[in-house]
Structure 1
Amino acid sequence: MIIRSAVARRLFSNPSSCPSSYSWCTTTSTRSSLSSSLVDQKRSSSSSSSAVGVGLPAYMRAAVFWEPNKPLTIEEFHIPRPKSGEILIKTKACGVCHSDLHVLKGELPFASPCVVGHEITGEIVEHGPATDKKTTERLPIGSHVVGAFIMPCGSCFFCSKGHDDLCEDFFAYNRAKGTLYDGETRLFLRSSGKPVYMYSMGGLAEYCVVPANALTILPKSLPYTESAILGCAVFTAYGAMAHAAEIRPGDSVAVVGIGGVGSSCLQIARAFGASDIIAVDVQDEKLQKAKLFGATHAINAAKEDAVEKIMELTGGKGVDVAVEALGKPQTFLQCVQSVRDGGKAVFIGLTAAGAVGEVDINRLVRRKIKIIGSYGARARQDLPKIVRLAESGIFDLSSAVSRRYKFEESDTAFHDLNQGSIVGRAVVEIM
């Protein structure tokens, strides 16, 4: 443990308004932009395959979400085209995440129809026109890459300060409208030419367009399938532990909810030198696996009071940091109640829109409890560090990925996730 923590410190020192529903286009300007793109796309599709890109097919397949609680369907699309500062990726693998599931169930409003999937690895096959030389040299054609789900524009107020996780364009365009940062999608159905929106890069597809700032090189020693989770499950956990919690050697940590992100939090807490690492869940199978990820204690919250047990394990003081990775009002309260005076309660689990968590205001004020939200890490600074975590073996990718699905089984993968039958993280293989 001491050796592992020392290595981690050397590698990672200084971890330093949306409408409730959507139609095809949310504004007049968006309709105009999409119409222009549609004309361009039709012109492109009427040309030969060579006009699309050297060696590229004219069409691809992607999994489409049409409306809540309806199955994903595999549809054919025109090959998406990158614009300046963007890169076309031949997708190799895409992780199966609860954030996508919230969209599929209608719990998080998002433009539809859309292609979900935001946790990808792949191969660079094309640069957008007029992309700067530094980018093309950093990310040459043929490179293996991993993409972060938060895709920073690189130039807004927050990005200019290094806070990629608060990128204004990402939230204003991608999360609010399902487009990239010119207000246009890159996805058009082959059959009708109609636009389809993008959740992040729309990664559950054979090809996807990703802003270059969201990509980093994936060493060829790391496999495509297992490495897909680096772009969300590990990326989210790293942001929570390095920036929100600011884990230090010797800290005590509790993680509530041991899914793909929660189990990644355990591994990163171990890498950063945490002492007591307490895993909380309601499934014994997940808790057993948590021990492989670094948990020193496991609590089944369905069988015993999680807060009381955490207090018992910490001599009545509570943990330095409690992380909620599930997204439920009940676990929100458990997380806040589990921290010591002056401690940090960090929240990374998304929930249904409008859900509210309760907190004891007097304790919050008198005992200096810190409540911190964390959505992800910082792509340009952190994603290369996360890759090094995996490359050095500090983060165990092979144990973290528990299920693999074929591309045609994408809907089954999300059904299984919704049923709670996936322990750890599942990945759809698109190769």
Structure 2
Amino acid sequence: MTDTMRAIVWPGTGEDLRIEQIRVPQPQRGEVLVRVTSCGVCHTDLHVMKGEVAFPSPAVLGHEISGTVVALGPDTPPVRGVDVGATVVGAFIMPCGECRQCLRGRDDMCLPFFAQNRLKGTLYDGTTRLYRQDGSPLSMYSMGGLAEYSVVPINALAPLRGEVPVVAAAILGCAAFTAYGAVHQTAALQPDETVAVVAIGGVGSSIVQLARAAGAGKVIAVDISDEKLAAALELGANHAVNSSSTDTVAAVRELTGGAGVDVAFEVLGRQETFEAAVKMLADGGRMVAVGIAAGASTANVEITPLVRRGLKVMGSFGGRTRADLPAVIDLAADGVFSVDDMVTRTYALDSARDAFDALARGEIHGRAVITMEN
């Protein structure tokens, strides 16, 4: 293994991504060095690039990866099958395993993850693992997966199994993992319940698959793109509603006999879609907000219907890594969740800018991945 690697560096808001040769990171206690095979292309990274989500720069972004373990940090025993030589998937929520939230099983609320990684771009000793060749530090967004090698806390990894293709498997660490948390942990979706999925990107498409697998009675896909809606129907949605040409709330209520849906998943993070998702709910329904919003965006919810009709509005950031990431991998290995159907574009590392430009233009349905091949 060489001392340097290629990485995509984000210099800061308003500046273009660029490929650089930086130092290969070294894992510390409780961490693993992964040779990255591929990294997913996610809207959350795009929010960071646009300055819509605050994050320190310069940085290496990329937060859902697949790859091969090449080293364990000092005094780091293998856990849950994560050992040298294992093919693994890395989840964007990287639990410390020791804080109050982790000890009660709420990996998605890990205190050091939010305080150190999301606010400061470091791992849990308060330092980054990524440095330019001149020794200047680079922030890490999750594991900084847009690079040939990545240091990942061992609690954020799970071994891949079955015949799941390793390149496409990267999306299991965010798109599928986020959807799993929304469907099974936050919504606690029950068989025969009706569902609306508002915005059919990578996470929305995953929710469609997982809701069908959980036994939803009816799944209604909502988007402005006919192409994305057609893909959602292929993934198992029963109905598609184009919100650019239709009164979305009225259409969803008509498709449910006027009642509304039991669960609406809002996966875009915009005021209008957030408010529409609440209005789609049946009495006693749950709206699960999954999409990250730009800046300090807000939405209006009518108080009286919320009270009288017993509605619930809940946020869902992701799954509970140590339990849910293996569960997501099992679904993919068993053919319940198809990564092949989800991954619609593949880019080389040198073309990362093209990938995010296409994402920003709304051209990618499902998910795109970036491979570390030339």
1:79 deviates by: 1.0
- Matching residue within 118, 143, 150 for 1:175: 118
The match for 1:110 is 55
CA contact (8 A) 2:286 2:313 kept: yes
The match for 1:187 is 130
CA contact (8 A) 1:144 1:220 kept: no
| Equivalences for residues 4-403 of structure 1 within 5 A | 56-131=1-76, 133-135=77-79, 138-190=81-133, 192-219=134-161, 221-403=163-345
1:423 deviates by: 1.2
- After superposition, the C-alpha distances for 1:127-147 in whole angstroms (9 at most, x for unaligned) are 00111x353x73121110000
Q: Which amino acid aligns with 1:116?
A: L
The 1:253/1:220 distance shift into structure 2, 3 A limit, reads: closer
Other structure's SS at 1:334 match: helix
Q: Which amino acid aligns with 1:144?
A: T
Name the larger-Rg structure.
1
Distance in 2 separating the partners of 1:292 and 1:229: 19
The match for 1:405 is 347
Q: TM-score, normalised by structure 1?
A: 0.86
Distance in 1 separating the partners of 2:235 and 2:125: 41
1:220 deviates by: 5.7
1:71 deviates by: 1.2
Other structure's SS at 1:375 match: coil
Q: Which amino acid aligns with 1:165?
A: D
Q: Which amino acid aligns with 2:8?
A: A
- Matching residue within 335, 358, 371 for 1:429: 371
**Structure 2: gaps of 5 or more residues:** none
Distance in 2 separating the partners of 1:71 and 1:415: 11
Distance in 2 separating the partners of 1:134 and 1:203: 21
**Structure 1: gaps of 5 or more residues:** 1-55
The match for 1:38 is none
- After superposition, the C-alpha distances for 1:375-417 in whole angstroms (9 at most, x for unaligned) are 0001100111100100010111111000000010011100110
Distance in 1 separating the partners of 2:177 and 2:144: 17
CA contact (8 A) 1:63 1:73 kept: yes
Other structure's SS at 1:216 match: strand
Distance in 2 separating the partners of 1:123 and 1:425: 21
Residue-pair matches, total:
373
Greater Cα offset, 219-228 or 262-271:
219-228
- After superposition, the C-alpha distances for 1:156-191 in whole angstroms (9 at most, x for unaligned) are 01100001000001000000100000000000001x
- After superposition, the C-alpha distances for 1:43-101 in whole angstroms (9 at most, x for unaligned) are xxxxxxxxxxxxx2111111001111321001111110000010000000000000000
Distance in 2 separating the partners of 1:158 and 1:316: 41
Greater Cα offset, 83-92 or 222-231:
222-231
Other structure's SS at 2:40 match: strand
- After superposition, the C-alpha distances for 1:311-361 in whole angstroms (9 at most, x for unaligned) are 111111110000001110000001000011110000000011100011001
Distance in 2 separating the partners of 1:342 and 1:359: 15
Distance in 2 separating the partners of 1:404 and 1:215: 23
